[in-house]
Amino acid sequence: MQRVLVIGGTGLLGYHTTLELLSKGYAVTSLALPPMPVENLFPEEVTTILADINEYSDEALAELISGHYAIMYAAGADERVVPDFPSAKFFYEQNVRPVQRVARIAAAAGVKKFVLFNSYTAEWGEQWPDLGYRERNGYPRTRLLQEEVAIMEGNGAMDVTSLRLPYIFGTMPGRQPLWHMFIDIAEGSPERVTTQMGSTSSVTVKQVAQSAVGAMEKGVHGAKYPINGYNLKYTEFMGYVCEALGRSADEVIGIPYEAVKDYLVQADAQVAAAGKEHGIHLVDSVQFQARDAVSDPAPVMAAIGYEADDVVASIKETLAYCMDNRALYKSWQNA
């Protein structure tokens, strides 16, 4: 039985990937930061290690990795973090250096497959150079670099693939979905909810798990797979948020980027004055949301074998879960 190490195994993506691996007959080791989100999260056959991977020496990490056929890397910082200026340094330290180290040690230890859970901002950073995602925005810039260093470390020894992941919907025991923050936005706008007029790729967490296992089993070294299950308009999504709150989707209004550009420039300047920097500048993020950041799923589905799923149903189920747990979420926010 081949063994797979899931780094970030107790997060949403790592958890569902672990379950998918088990369903395919793989043995799984989960490595994640403590504490466990709930007791007995996994079936007893999963080996669970609670530790900070960055605190392992190279020798200890090599010993941990040895004997694993593949690694799923589902850890790191995302763009919701607003670090000190320059943000690229923070995301480099959090996302690039750890991946390069793990990939280097994994290749030397005989690991054959390495699947990186990445961001679709890397995809559009390449396709839309005018956004400056490859130059002035630290988060997508380092996401692109993260892919390249992992691929370089694997060359000739280990197949490295990257999943460029968009909006993801689903739940897991003991953790609250990030979509609470969109409910916060709607609650703070009691009359009209405004959003951008573009659209985004979106997937269920089941599709992410299938994509990860598919990339491991069928992926080509160096391939970067943009994952999509449904073209989701931002106005449509905020309509679902309003409906979860018992309001009408008709309360959502799409506004053009030009209407908010000056405000966003000022907001970015205020963040900079405080010595901080968004991983994606607000003015660039909203310009991105004014476009249709959607990829054709067919070629990737054929390449790695993930299946179609009901993304809209998953969105509604995820938002319902959020509403059922609003008190818990708010208590955590205030802690």
pLDDT tens for 260-319 read 999 999 999 999 999 999 999 999 999 999 999 999 999 999 999 999 999 999 999 999
What pLDDT score does 272 carry? 97
Place of tokens 């009691």: 190
pLDDT(333) > 80:
no
pLDDT of residue 232: 98
Answer yes or no: are the C-beta atoms of 47 and 30 closer than 8 Å: yes
150 CB-near residues (< 8 Å, 6+ apart): 73, 99, 100, 103, 114, 116, 160, 162
Predicted local distance difference test score (pLDDT) of residue 287 = 95
Please spell the DSSP secondary structure of 9-59, one letter per residue. TTSHHHHHHHHHHHHTT-EEEEEE-SS-SSTT-S-TTSEEEES-GGGS-HH
Overall average pLDDT of the 124-132 stretch: 95
How do residues 29-54 score in pLDDT, each as one tens digit? 999 999 999 999 999 999 999 999 99
The mean pLDDT of 164-191, rounded to a whole number, is: 96
H-helix or E-strand containing 162?
Answer: strand 159-165
Cβ neighbour number for residue 231 with a 10 Å cutoff: 17
For all residues of the chain together, what is the average pLDDT? 97
* Residue percentage of the chain with pLDDT more than 90: 96
Interval 198-206 mean pLDDT = 98
**What is the distance between the alpha carbons of residues 103 and 324, in angstroms, rounded to a whole number?**
40
- C-alpha 281/C-alpha 133 separation (Å) is 9
70 three-state secondary structure: strand
Give the mean model confidence (pLDDT) for residues 125-131.
95
Beta bridge partners of 252: 193
Instruction: Return the pLDDT at 157.
Output: 97
Place of tokens 């990795």: 65
Q: Is 153 left (phi over 0), alpha (psi -120 to 50) or beta?
A: alpha
Residue 335 has pLDDT above 80, yes or no: no
Give the pLDDT confidence score for residue 1 in this predicted structure: 87
- Arithmetic mean of pLDDT, 151-178: 97
Percentage of the chain modeled with pLDDT above 70 = 100
The predicted pLDDT at position 331 comes to: 83
**Is residue 227 scored above 90 in pLDDT?**
yes
Question: Per-residue pLDDT for 255 more than 90?
Answer: yes
d(CA 107, CA 116): 14
Q: Which of the four pLDDT bands, split at 50, 70 and 90, describes residue 80?
A: very high
Which whole number is the average pLDDT over 227-239? 98
Which residue matches tokens 């250096």?
Answer: 97
